[in-house]
Amino acid sequence: MKHVKRVGLKKAKVAIAGKIAVILHCIWVDGTSFDWGHAPA
């Protein structure tokens, strides 16, 4: 929430979307499967 207060909601959404895009790209390239329900071992 500190980031939202500092830069604004729109810019914070774009920043988070960019981070998610990088994570998804790495998962797709690597071929790793992702499970929302379990913590990493």
The answer to whether residue 38 sits within a structural domain is no
Per the structure block, which two tokens stand in for 17? 């979307």
Share above pLDDT 70 across residues of the chain, in percent, rounded to a whole number: 85
Contacts of 24 (CB under 8 A, 6+ apart): none
pLDDT value at residue 19: 92
Residue 8, both tokens: 């604004």
Confidence of residue 25 (pLDDT cuts 50, 70, 90): very high
Instruction: Give mean pLDDT, residues 16-37.
Output: 87
Over the chain, what is the mean pLDDT?
Answer: 83
Structural domain for 10, as ranges: 1-29
In the chain, how many domains are there? Answer: 1
Residue 39 lies in a domain: no
Please report the pLDDT score of residue 14 as a whole number.
Answer: 93
Q: Is residue 35 part of a domain?
A: no
Residues 7/15, Cβ–Cβ less than 8 Å? yes
38 exposed, middle or buried (CB, 10 Å; 0-12, 13-18, 19+)?
exposed
